[in-house]
Amino acid sequence: MSGLVKAWLAGGAMLALVASPALASERPFNLGKIATPEEVAGWDIDVRPDGLGAPVGMGNAIDGEEIYADRCAACHGDFGEAVDNWPVLVGGEGTLDSHDPVKTTGSYWPYASTMYDYIYRAMPFGEAQSLTYDETYQIVAFLLYMNDIIEDDFEVSHENIGTIEMPNRDGFFMPDPRPDAQPVASEPCMTNCDVPTNIIGRARDIDVTPEQES
């Protein structure tokens, strides 16, 4: 085939492509620019429960102890017990059905992937996305070890972050059962309703409300 014919065919094919109503309808406003793979890779930092998105890397609790002490312990305590009002990270097993549930990565979080996702994107507090991938795996490993979920030499990595079994994996249910707590009668009571009206508590007596200087 001559070069001329080739060029004519290519041009015709391209014209047909541009004029195709199917393609035109796919991008109705022609706004925005195509993201490059590098641009997507820089921002697409989430890690799913099946491990999708986990960056290549690994770390164990032995190495994690040092980085945890350096980057995390100031708020979360040397053993994940927490300083002041900062979140407790370790312990709490068996407390979820008690009067004082303690929700930690070990007692409550259903997926190890969430630990990686959150620590990398948001921790240390005020130094977001400053940890390396390996440092993040090391901190995850240290917290899993402190919660008796893995051994101290277990290498947490992109290959197994989606398979680590968390103790409270089955502690959540859906779909949302609401609306709930609805009155039995179709119309709510309007007169002489049988309800308790004794005062059993006053916020004033609890006395934790901030005061306003007049």
Q: Could you say which residues in the range 30-69 bind other proteins, by CB under 8 A?
A: 31-35, 39-40, 43-46, 48-50
Q: Which is nearer to other proteins, 17 or 181 (CB)?
A: 181
Q: Does 26 bind other proteins (CB under 8 A)?
A: yes
Least distance (Å) from other proteins to the CB of residue 1? 32
Binding to other proteins in span 165-204, by CB under 8 A = 171-183, 186, 188-193, 195-204
Cα separation, 179 vs 34, in Å, equals 43
Q: Which is nearer to other proteins, 51 or 63 (CB)?
A: 51
For residue 165, the 8-state DSSP code is B
Q: Which is nearer to other proteins, 12 or 94 (CB)?
A: 94
Q: Does 144 bind other proteins (CB under 8 A)?
A: no
Q: Work out which of 24, 79, 122, 148 binds other proteins, going by CB under 8 A.
A: 122
Residues 6+ apart with CB under 8 A from 190: none
CA 116 from centroid of its chain's CA atoms = 8
Q: How far apart are the first and last CA of the chain?
A: 92
Residues 6+ apart with CB under 8 A from 172: 110
Q: Which stretch binds other proteins (CB under 8 A): 9-17, 121-129, 135-143, 145-153?
A: 121-129
Cα separation, 54 vs 45, in Å, equals 8
Cα–Cα distances (Å) from 129 to 54, 65, 121, 203, 214, in that order, read: 14, 19, 5, 42, 44
Structure tokens at 189: 């009571």
Least distance (Å) from other proteins to the CB of residue 135? 17
Give the chain's largest Cα–Cα span.
98
Residue tagged 């249910």 (tokens):
173
Binding to other proteins in span 76-115, by CB under 8 A = 82, 84-88, 96-97, 99-103, 105, 108-111, 113-114
- Number of shown-chain residues binding other proteins (CB under 8 A): 87
Q: Does 121 bind other proteins (CB under 8 A)?
A: yes
Q: Which is nearer to other proteins, 19 or 100 (CB)?
A: 100
